[in-house]
A and B are shown apart, each in its own frame.
Chain A
Amino acid sequence: METIRKILMMMAVVAVAMFSMAASCEKQPEPEPEPEVKEYNFDLYVCAVKHGGMSKNKNGTYVRSVPALTADQPRVEFTGKGIDITEDYTLESITRGKYYYQVPQKATGGFVKFHIERNASGEETIVEDAEVPFKTNVFDARKYTHAWIDDGATLVLIGTDAKHTSVFWTKLAESNLAVQSEGTFNFTLPENYGSFSTAGLLTYRKSDNKLFYFYMDKVKSGITDAATSVTHITVIDPATMNVESNTTVPGEIMEETAGSAYGELMQSMIVYDEADNMYVAGLRTIDGKEMGILRRIKAGSKTFDTTWNGFPNPEGKLLTIQYLGEGKALCYSRDEALGTKIDSKSHFYSIINLSDCSRQRVKYNGQDLQYCGGRFSQRSAVVGGKAYIGVGGETEGLEEATYPTIYIYDCKTGAVEKGVELSKGFCFDIIRAMEAK
């Protein structure tokens, strides 16, 4: 009897144990869902006659929106096609999701949100979703910098007054562009300096919920000798917009950021890696020439890591940088020896390995991608593990003319394939990857 009881007890214990195991197995977390695969449209911007960007496009800007940039797509035609945005909008814009946000060209004294869709006849058209007048702070078309905070619910803009001697900010609600709050920073110019940079560069670091604002003291407004500029890094509390620190950057570290007049409305100049280290494209003068430099602010730090330069031995200016993942970044830079004009065919793409600061030109079939015109172009977009790199065929002579072509770089494997072509005759300036929904 005792034996039977023991056997029953053991069976009960085993049953409980098995039940418990079964129960504990049920409580284990479910496998992570596959990341949502977003669908994108690619908005392609071209300018007529000469390259545009940063108020240089005097001959018109035209936009087409296509669902893919792979080689199986038909050539993207622009003759008599695409939205003519010249009169109403700027090609420089803030984008998020499927929306554009900007101070429009049409000078309504306000801010506009719009998206691109197709009309009944299949032509791209612009649909305005919201437009609000400015309150106190008035921003000029192009001349502002921005950052998204509150998980994209709030847009922060920073700009300067007419003489660039006062720096102000405005917060807008993403949904309806309502002005939430405005203010002015209390920055002062040192003696013998006449203005701040036109807009500066604003960025948001998520890991410590801080805004970083890069601006410069300049001898006078407009284009000046970079060696005379003094760059500042300010750290701002995004909730209160109070300046928590303002650090002056020594000239040997960086004289100017890669752009300071138009924010990142067109060209990407600040990127983050997975650890939230920040990388900032800039320039400093070497042997009398302004040359590119890439500096890093480590996660948690508020100043540049002075020992690190991700763009050593520069051929010229570093113009844009985009993070590709796994410690690699795509950069667009210029070889000064091949020309420094906006349309000079002296601009090229490289991949920077951020771990050892080496870089290599992007190649297709073993050949370097050709040089391009377009100092102010952002002809590359990184999305879905691919980098779409546009190479213009726009300013070549007749004999060597090629179609502007997009090359697709696989961020994991490094493989490059040829993508879609664009029609000739226009200057290819921007690819924007926009969410389709």
Chain B
Amino acid sequence: MLFRRLLSIILALASCCVCARGQDTLGVWGMLKDTVTLESASVTAKSKEQRLREGAYAVSAVGIKAQAATLQSLTQAIDRTSGIRIREEGGVGSDFDLSINGMSGNSVRYFLDGMPLDAKGSGMTLSNLPVNIIESVEIYKGVIPASFGSDALGGAINIITNRQSRNYIDFSCGAGSFHTYKADFSARYGSRKTGIVFKPVISANYSKNDYLMRGVKVRNEDHTAFVIKDLPRFHDDYLSLFAQMEAGVENRSWADAFFLSASVSKIDKELQTGANQANVIGMAERHTRSLNLSARYDKAGFLTEGLNAHFSASHTWDNSQTIDTTYRRYYWDGTYINGSYSEIRHRGKTLRLYERPLTVLRGNLDYRLAEGHNLGLNYQLNRMGNRQEDLWDEDFGKTDDVLAKHIIALSYEQSLMEGKLDNAFFVKDYINHLKVGQNELPSTTGASEVKDSDTKNYLGYGMGSRYIFSEPLAVKGSYEHSVRLPISREVLGNGSTVYPNVALQPEISDNFNLGFFGTVDLGGGHLLSYETNGFMRLVDNYIQATVMETEGMMQYVNVAAVHIKGVDGEVRYDWAGKLHLAMNASYDDSRDMREFTQAGQPSITYKNRTPNRPWTYCNAEAAYTFRNVGLKGSRLRLSCDYQWVHWFYLTWAAYGSASSKSKVPTQHITNASILYAWAQNRYNVSLECTNLFNVLAYDNYMLQKPGRGFYLKFRMFLQ
């Protein structure tokens, strides 16, 4: 009996320690609580994700660590989250657009451990970051904590990497349909004695993306007429390589952590289509190379007790090349005719070089005024250059644009009533500097409308509050007057399919959230939890991607005023770590609220739903885990998920009759996977089937997504 009590106490302490370290001990995907049941005692500790959900801000948290054995990419996991929608243009490595509560992907900022993800290179995204190094993902909706020093409008995604203090080796490799291969390696080696730590990461992705395009138009054998066929994609190879070495010291008197890091990335991508699949590309390519050097320093009790400091600095040399040097017009069977314009830009031939150096400086000071009262000061500099030259087009003049942002944030956080009431207040100052050097296509890019050099200042502020009535019921609300400065892709284009718009104005929005959440312990290992969030975004100068009707190119433009109201919610059920059920649904109603046009006439699109964006969608998933199947300590997990997205118009509803309008059709996608893990999760094998029923699916207008695919993945985790 004494032994049991001792064991219970030890386990309880261990759980608390785990909680304090932010570990998800059992690693059951999506678990709300980690539960260890003894014969006479049950000790529970909230996972880090759950604690984050219970904060003052509207936030979703996704544990990745336990999913790493099955996930092909991070986008897979995030896309299943309530209020999140990811629209992919094609297969592996394709461009994607992420929205949070209706705000488009570029209103969302991405961070890797608090630093802008761009610092790893413009080619590194959620879709090719090695999954194994990621512990969890925090998704902030609408209101962003000041500590990020960010100008996100719709939200922020912060990817938390594995910070565990034990040495390990993590290796995975996989292969799948459409000639897809993937391998990731990460490790940690550290000496407690010296405090020196090394963390290497290597990742490689390759896919031919030769999935079947259905019902495409090609010429008949004698080239006298068109016929409809199903044909594989033929020019969509994608290769990404990423390597990083982080070295530093931990737990020294002068630093809790001090790390220097170097990373390189290389992305080679053949381009297969323009903004829609009618524009078939057979030769154009894009190559990106990046080198990043960075340093970070963390110290609790910096200079004085109660002052925590975090400093980081990063510089990235980012070079990309877009090759568009043929005048061919391809068909989906790979044949072509000689045309009179280039494949991507539909103009003259170009071999465009882009040099986009990025410097990020970040400093964060957090001072504890008293128990439960903290004051924070954050500064972030984000400076991106954009130098362009063309090795083919002699008429193209070199350009040298600069986009620099300084964001200073001050925050005050308090925890009252024994932690039942948490409040946070913040104010942010945004300084935007744009120096425009380019003058190509001035009427299209707006280069003729802006000053060569301009600096503007914007102010943002907000607050968040959470009150816990009881475990099953808590309420939280947050508000931010936010400013979102256009990112480089929106202002300066992507060098291939996105035109610059240097006259683009920042988005300004008032964001409101009001949510409820809770957990009900039904006993017997049955846990039910829920969260729901109502939101409102009142946006001015909403930045919207439009497909240029000529050339199949895209460009980002300002829409004067857009109001988004909506709700999302999620219900999760877990039974003893065996059965897991979850369902979420999201609805947002985004309307054009500009009553009059610039010319003063009543606007035709007033109160129309914002086009070309999904507005109702839901996800459901079910998983069951068997234990000790075949081998002792093994785990067999069967899971299935389903996603539904309501159809939407490509253009405003007021434009044209319903029967003639272009639409992105409703999607029903079902995926299934089997995971077998043995030797205490050291080894994992998973088989995943995506798009199980092989339905024709579109995220974007006239851009088919892959059909049914199978992926096999092996993972080894030695600790």
Measuring CB to CB, which residues of chain A are less than 8 angstroms from any residue of chain B?
48-49, 55, 57-58, 60-62, 78-87, 105-110, 119, 121, 123-126, 131-136, 138-141, 143, 159-163, 178, 220, 394-399, 401, 424-426
Q: In the complex, are the beta carbons of B662 and A84 less than 8 A apart?
A: yes
Q: At the interface, yes or no: B329 with Cβ under 8 Å from chain A?
A: yes
Q: In the complex, are the beta carbons of A396 and B660 less than 8 A apart?
A: no
Q: In the complex, are the beta carbons of A425 and B650 less than 8 A apart?
A: no
10 CB-based A-B contacts, threshold 8 Å? A48-B604, A108-B278, A119-B659, A131-B225, A143-B340, A162-B327, A162-B348, A220-B395, A398-B596, A401-B600
Q: In the complex, are the beta carbons of A395 and B599 less than 8 A apart?
A: yes
Residues of A near B702 (CB, < 8 A) are 87
Closest Cβ neighbor of A61 among chain B residues: B549
Residues of A near B226 (CB, < 8 A) are 108, 110, 131-133
Residues of A near B279 (CB, < 8 A) are 107
Residues of B near A48 (CB, < 8 A) are 604, 652, 655
Most buried by B among A83, A84, A136, A397: A84
Residues of A near B225 (CB, < 8 A) are 131-133
Q: At the interface, yes or no: B251 with Cβ under 8 Å from chain A?
A: no
Q: At the interface, yes or no: B42 with Cβ under 8 Å from chain A?
A: no
Q: In the complex, are the beta carbons of B604 and A160 less than 8 A apart?
A: no
Closest Cβ neighbor of B225 among chain A residues: A132
Q: Which of B310-347 contact A (CB under 8 A)?
A: 327, 329, 331, 337-342, 346
- B513 → chain A closest CB, angstroms: 33
Q: How many residues of B are counted as interface, with CB atoms below 8 angstroms from the partner's CB atoms?
A: 50
With A60-B651, A87-B662, A398-B600 as contacts: A82 and B224 at CB distance below 8 Å: no
Closest Cβ neighbor of B327 among chain A residues: A162
With A87-B549, A396-B599 as contacts: A140 and B656 at CB distance below 8 Å: no
Q: Pick the contact of A138 from B340, B601, B651 — CB < 8 Å?
A: B340
Q: In the complex, are the beta carbons of B657 and A80 less than 8 A apart?
A: yes
Q: In the complex, are the beta carbons of A125 and B278 less than 8 A apart?
A: no
Q: In the complex, are the beta carbons of B549 and A105 less than 8 A apart?
A: yes
Q: Which of B262-320 contact A (CB under 8 A)?
A: 276, 278-279
Q: At the interface, yes or no: B223 with Cβ under 8 Å from chain A?
A: yes
Q: Pick the contact of B223 from A85, A133, A139, A161 — CB < 8 Å?
A: A133
Cα A143 to Cα B602 in complex, Å, equals: 35
Q: At the interface, yes or no: B627 with Cβ under 8 Å from chain A?
A: no
Most buried by A among B279, B340, B603, B652: B340
Residues of A near B549 (CB, < 8 A) are 57-58, 60-61, 86-87, 105
Q: In the complex, are the beta carbons of B656 and A60 less than 8 A apart?
A: yes
Closest Cβ neighbor of B276 among chain A residues: A87
Beyond the given A109-B337, A141-B550, A426-B604, please list 11 additional residue pairs across the A-B interface where CB-CB is below 8 A: A105-B549, A131-B226, A133-B337, A135-B223, A139-B340, A162-B327, A178-B224, A220-B395, A395-B599, A398-B602, A425-B654
Cα A84 to Cα B654 in complex, Å, equals: 11
Interface string of B199-223 (1 = CB under 8 A from A): 0000000000000000001010001
Residues of A near B601 (CB, < 8 A) are 394-398, 401, 424-425
Residues of B near A396 (CB, < 8 A) are 599-601
- B279 → chain A closest CB, angstroms: 5
Q: In the complex, are the beta carbons of B329 and A58 less than 8 A apart?
A: no
Cα A81 to Cα B658 in complex, Å, equals: 7
Cα A290 to Cα B279 in complex, Å, equals: 37
Cα A79 to Cα B278 in complex, Å, equals: 28
Residues of A near B223 (CB, < 8 A) are 133, 135
Cα A252 to Cα B650 in complex, Å, equals: 50
With A107-B552, A109-B331 as contacts: A62 and B655 at CB distance below 8 Å: yes
Q: In the complex, are the beta carbons of B656 and A83 less than 8 A apart?
A: yes
7 A-B pairs closest in CB distance: A84-B656, A425-B604, A397-B600, A398-B600, A162-B340, A83-B660, A109-B329
Q: At the interface, yes or no: B646 with Cβ under 8 Å from chain A?
A: no
- B178 → chain A closest CB, angstroms: 25
Q: In the complex, are the beta carbons of B341 and A140 less than 8 A apart?
A: yes
Cα A149 to Cα B340 in complex, Å, equals: 26
Q: At the interface, yes or no: B694 with Cβ under 8 Å from chain A?
A: no
Q: Which of B563-609 contact A (CB under 8 A)?
A: 596-597, 599-604
Measuring CB to CB, which residues of chain B are less than 8 angstroms from any residue of chain A?
217, 219, 223-226, 276, 278-279, 327, 329, 331, 337-342, 346, 348-349, 395, 546, 548-550, 552, 596-597, 599-604, 650-662, 701-702
Most buried by B among A105, A108, A178: A108
Q: In the complex, are the beta carbons of B660 and A125 less than 8 A apart?
A: yes
Q: In the complex, are the beta carbons of B599 and A397 less than 8 A apart?
A: yes
Residues of B near A62 (CB, < 8 A) are 655-656
Residues of A near B342 (CB, < 8 A) are 162
Q: In the complex, are the beta carbons of A107 and B278 less than 8 A apart?
A: yes
Cα A205 to Cα B219 in complex, Å, equals: 36
Q: In the complex, are the beta carbons of A425 and B656 less than 8 A apart?
A: no
Cα A141 to Cα B552 in complex, Å, equals: 12
Residues of B near A163 (CB, < 8 A) are 348
Closest Cβ neighbor of B339 among chain A residues: A138
Q: Pick the contact of A108 from B217, B276, B550, B656 — CB < 8 Å?
A: B217
Closest Cβ neighbor of B550 among chain A residues: A55
Q: Pick the contact of B329 from A55, A121, A138, A395 — CB < 8 Å?
A: A138
Cα A219 to Cα B383 in complex, Å, equals: 40
With A62-B656, A81-B657, A123-B657 as contacts: A162 and B604 at CB distance below 8 Å: no
Closest Cβ neighbor of B336 among chain A residues: A109
- B391 → chain A closest CB, angstroms: 17
Cα A119 to Cα B658 in complex, Å, equals: 12
- A163 → chain B closest CB, angstroms: 7
Residues of A near B338 (CB, < 8 A) are 136, 138
Q: In the complex, are the beta carbons of A134 and B337 less than 8 A apart?
A: yes
- A398 → chain B closest CB, angstroms: 4
Cα A85 to Cα B604 in complex, Å, equals: 18
Cα A138 to Cα B395 in complex, Å, equals: 24
Residues of B near A399 (CB, < 8 A) are 600
- B325 → chain A closest CB, angstroms: 11
- A157 → chain B closest CB, angstroms: 13
Closest Cβ neighbor of A221 among chain B residues: B348
With A60-B655, A108-B217 as contacts: A84 and B600 at CB distance below 8 Å: no
Residues of A near B348 (CB, < 8 A) are 162-163
Q: In the complex, are the beta carbons of A109 and B660 less than 8 A apart?
A: no
Q: In the complex, are the beta carbons of B597 and A84 less than 8 A apart?
A: no
Residues of B near A55 (CB, < 8 A) are 550
Q: In the complex, are the beta carbons of A82 and B657 less than 8 A apart?
A: yes
Cα A107 to Cα B281 in complex, Å, equals: 11
Closest Cβ neighbor of B596 among chain A residues: A398
Residues of B near A178 (CB, < 8 A) are 224
Q: In the complex, are the beta carbons of A82 and B660 less than 8 A apart?
A: yes
With A107-B279, A140-B340 as contacts: A84 and B219 at CB distance below 8 Å: no
Q: In the complex, are the beta carbons of B657 and A133 less than 8 A apart?
A: no
Q: Pick the contact of A82 from B346, B603, B656 — CB < 8 Å?
A: B656
Q: In the complex, are the beta carbons of B224 and A84 less than 8 A apart?
A: no
Residues of A near B603 (CB, < 8 A) are 425
Residues of B near A79 (CB, < 8 A) are 604, 654
Cα A141 to Cα B341 in complex, Å, equals: 11
Closest Cβ neighbor of B279 among chain A residues: A107
- A430 → chain B closest CB, angstroms: 15
Residues of B near A80 (CB, < 8 A) are 653-654, 656-658
Q: Pick the contact of A84 from B341, B596, B604, B655 — CB < 8 Å?
A: B655
Cα A135 to Cα B657 in complex, Å, equals: 35
Cα A221 to Cα B294 in complex, Å, equals: 47
Residues of A near B329 (CB, < 8 A) are 107, 109, 138
Q: Pick the contact of A124 from B346, B552, B660 — CB < 8 Å?
A: B660
- A182 → chain B closest CB, angstroms: 12
Cα A140 to Cα B651 in complex, Å, equals: 25
- B254 → chain A closest CB, angstroms: 58
Cα A135 to Cα B601 in complex, Å, equals: 47
Most buried by A among B276, B600, B602: B600
Q: In the complex, are the beta carbons of A84 and B657 less than 8 A apart?
A: yes
Residues of A near B327 (CB, < 8 A) are 162
Closest Cβ neighbor of B340 among chain A residues: A162
Residues of A near B651 (CB, < 8 A) are 60, 84, 86
